[in-house]
Structure 1
Amino acid sequence: MKKWLVGAVAASGLLLAGCSTSPEVASTVAGRVREDELYERMKNEMTQSGMTYGEQMLQQILLEDILENAYSDEVSDEDVEEYFEREAEMFGGVEEFEELLEMQGMSADDVRENLRSTLYVRRAIEDHVDITEEDIEQAYEEYQINSTVAHILVEEEELAEDIISQLNDGAEFGDLVEEHSVDYGTVPAGGEIELVPGQTVPEFESAAVELEEGEITQEPVESQFGYHVIKMVEVGEKGSLEEERDTIENLLIESYLNDPAVVQEAVSVLVQDANVQIADDELSGALQQFLVPSPEPTDGPLDPVEEGTDDTEADETDDADTEEVEETEEVDETEETEESEDSEDTSDEE
Structure 2
Amino acid sequence: MKKIILSCAALLLAVTIAGCSTDKTVATTTSGKITQEQLYNELKTQYGTTTLQTMLLNNVLEDQYGDKVSKKDTTAELDKLKAIYGDSFDATLKQSNITLDALKTNIRTTLLKKAAVSANAKFTDADYKRAFEIWTPKMTAQHILVADEATAKDLITKINAGEDFAKLAKENSTDTTTKNDGGKLPEFDYTSSLGTDFAAAAVKLKDGEVSPTPIQSQSGYHIVKMTKNPGKGKWEDRKKELKEILVTEITSDNTKLLPYLAQVVKKANVQIKEDDLKDAMAPFTQPAATSSSSAPKAKDSSKATSDTATSSSDSAAATSSSAK
TM-score class normalised by the smaller sequence:
0.5 to 0.7
Structure 2 counterpart of 1:41, one-letter code: E
Q: Deviations over 1:169-215 (max 9, x none)?
A: 76x82x76455433558759947484754899xxxx7xx89965334
Q: Does 1:150 align with 2:143?
A: yes
Q: Does 1:105 align with 2:97?
A: yes
2: CA distance, partners of 1:228 / 1:241: 28
> Is the Cα contact below 8 Å between 1:144 and 1:237 reproduced in 2?
no
Structure 1 counterpart of 2:101, one-letter code: D
The aligned counterpart of 2:12 is: none
2: CA distance, partners of 1:64 / 1:99: 28
> 2:122 is paired with a residue of what secondary structure?
coil
The aligned counterpart of 2:269 is: 275
The aligned counterpart of 2:256 is: 262
- TM-score if structure 1 supplies the norm length? 0.56
2: CA distance, partners of 1:123 / 1:199: 27
TM-aligned CA distance change 1:182 to 1:29, over 3 Å? farther
The aligned counterpart of 2:243 is: 249
> Is the Cα contact below 8 Å between 1:177 and 1:191 reproduced in 2?
no
> 1:91 is paired with a residue of what secondary structure?
helix
TM-aligned CA distance change 1:183 to 1:82, over 3 Å? closer
TM-aligned CA distance change 1:33 to 1:82, over 3 Å? farther
TM-aligned CA distance change 1:144 to 1:80, over 3 Å? closer
Structure 2 counterpart of 1:153, one-letter code: V
Q: Which has the higher contact order (CA 8 A, sep 6+)?
A: 2
- TM-score if structure 2 supplies the norm length? 0.60
2: CA distance, partners of 1:35 / 1:226: 57
Q: Return the offset for 1:78.
A: 0.8
1: CA distance, partners of 2:79 / 2:179: 23
TM-aligned CA distance change 1:236 to 1:282, over 3 Å? same
1: CA distance, partners of 2:126 / 2:96: 40
Q: Return the offset for 1:117.
A: 0.7
> Is the Cα contact below 8 Å between 2:25 and 2:33 reproduced in 1?
no
Give identity over the alignment, percent.
Answer: 25
> 2:67 is paired with a residue of what secondary structure?
coil
> 2:68 is paired with a residue of what secondary structure?
coil
1: CA distance, partners of 2:163 / 2:279: 72
The aligned counterpart of 1:7 is: none
The aligned counterpart of 2:66 is: 72
Q: Deviations over 1:13-49 (max 9, x none)?
A: xxxxxxx63463x77888765443233224444xxxx
> 2:268 is paired with a residue of what secondary structure?
coil
TM-aligned CA distance change 1:57 to 1:34, over 3 Å? farther
Structure 2 residue ranges without an equivalent (≥5): 1-21, 186-192, 290-296, 300-324
> 2:75 is paired with a residue of what secondary structure?
helix
The aligned counterpart of 2:82 is: 88
2: CA distance, partners of 1:142 / 1:154: 28
Structure 2 counterpart of 1:239, one-letter code: G
TM-aligned CA distance change 1:196 to 1:288, over 3 Å? closer
Q: Does 1:138 align with 2:139?
A: no
Q: Which has the larger radius of gyration?
A: 1
> Is the Cα contact below 8 Å between 1:137 and 1:241 reproduced in 2?
yes
1: CA distance, partners of 2:220 / 2:102: 43
> 1:273 is paired with a residue of what secondary structure?
helix
TM-aligned CA distance change 1:244 to 1:229, over 3 Å? closer
2: CA distance, partners of 1:285 / 1:188: 59
2: CA distance, partners of 1:97 / 1:81: 15
Q: 1:124 aligns with which of 106, 113, 116?
A: 116
RMSD: 4.8
Paired positions, count? 258
1: CA distance, partners of 2:28 / 2:233: 64
Q: Return the offset for 1:106.
A: 2.3
Q: Deviations over 1:247-298 (max 9, x none)?
A: 1111111111122123211111221222322222111111122223468999
